[in-house]
Amino acid sequence: MSDLNTVYIETERLVVRTFDENDFEQFKRLLDLYGGWQMQKPRAKEFFDWHLSNYKKMDIITGTLCLGVFEKETGDILGQVAAQEHDDLNEPEFGYGILPCAREKGYAKEAAKGTLEWIEEKYDIPYIIGTVAIDNIPSQKVLEYCGFQLVNEQSLLIHMMNERHDFMYYRYYFNSPE
C-alpha cells in the first residue's frame, strides 16, 4: 500500500489507522459490534479483504473507508471508525464502534475527534452526517461532544438488513455555515 492509501492518526492514547493483512484476527472481534457486521461472520475474511480493497480509492463520498482503533501502548484493537456514503441518504456519514470492554473510557470521543480532523484535511466536503439509534444516548453524546449538531429524527432503511429504523440525524460542519 502506498502512503497515499495509508492512514495513521495518533492521539494521546490511540492509533487510528488503515488495517493491514496482519490485523485479520483482531478485526474479527469487531464483527459483534453491529447487526449488519454480525451477518458477515460466515464470510469474515472476504469482508475484511473488501475493507482492505477500499483503501485503493479512499472514497468516503460514494464508497467506504473503515479504520481500526488501536490502543497505542499495547496495539490491541479497541474498535473502528468509518466514513462512507450513507446507503439511504447518499451523504457522507461518519460512524464508530468501540468494543464493550473498552467503552466508557473516552476512546470513542478521542478516536472520533482525531478522525474528523483528518477528514477535514483530506476531503473537500462541507459537512458529514452521523446517524445514531434514538435509544443510543452514549453515541449521541459522543457526536455532540465532537461538535455534531442535531438536525432531526428520521426513519432510515438499513439496506444490508432490509429493515427500517428510527435514528437521530446529525451534521458536522467542517466550516461553520454563515
Please give the pLDDT value at position 1.
Answer: 38
Would you place residue 88 in the very low, low, confident or very high pLDDT band (cuts 50, 70, 90)? confident
- Residue 122 belongs to domain with CATH number: 3.40.630.30
Contact predicate 108/79, CB 8 Å: yes
On whether residue 91 sits in a domain, the answer given is: yes
Please give the pLDDT value at position 160.
Answer: 72
3-state SS of the chain?
CCHHHCCEEECCCEEEEECCHHHHHHHHHHHHCCHHHHCCHHHHHHHHHHHHHHHHCCCCCCCEEEEEEEECCCCCEEEEEEEEECCCCCCEEEEEEECHHHCCCCHHHHHHHHHHHHHHHHCCCCEEEEEEECCCHHHHHHHHHHCCEEEEEEEEEECCCCEEEEEEEEEEECCCCC
On whether residue 160 sits in a domain, the answer given is: no
Quote the cell numbers at residue 146: 465532537
Please give the pLDDT value at position 2.
Answer: 42
Report d(CA 63, CA 47) in Å as an integer.
15
Would you place residue 163 in the very low, low, confident or very high pLDDT band (cuts 50, 70, 90)? confident
Would you place residue 178 in the very low, low, confident or very high pLDDT band (cuts 50, 70, 90)? very low
In the predicted model, is pLDDT for residue 92 greater than 70? yes
* Total number of domains in the chain: 1
Please give the pLDDT value at position 34.
Answer: 80
Classify residue 99 as left (phi > 0), alpha (psi -120 to 50) or beta: beta
On whether residue 162 sits in a domain, the answer given is: no
Please give the pLDDT value at position 3.
Answer: 62
On whether residue 150 sits in a domain, the answer given is: no
On whether residue 149 sits in a domain, the answer given is: no
On whether residue 144 sits in a domain, the answer given is: no
pLDDT digits (tens, 9 = 90+) for 15-45: 999 999 999 999 999 999 887 788 899 999 9
Q: Which of 142, 130, 128 is nearest to 168 (CA)?
A: 130
pLDDT digits (tens, 9 = 90+) for 122-162: 999 999 999 999 999 999 999 999 999 999 999 998 877 78
Report d(CA 60, CA 102) in Å as an integer.
26
As to burial, measured by CB atoms within 10 angstroms (0-12 exposed, 13-18 middle, 19+ buried), residue 93 is buried
Let me know the angle formed at the C-alpha of 45 by 44 and 50, rounded to the nearest 5 degrees: 100
On whether residue 138 sits in a domain, the answer given is: no
On whether residue 55 sits in a domain, the answer given is: yes
Full domain range(s) for residue 57: 3-128
User: What mean pLDDT is reported for the chain?
Assistant: 93
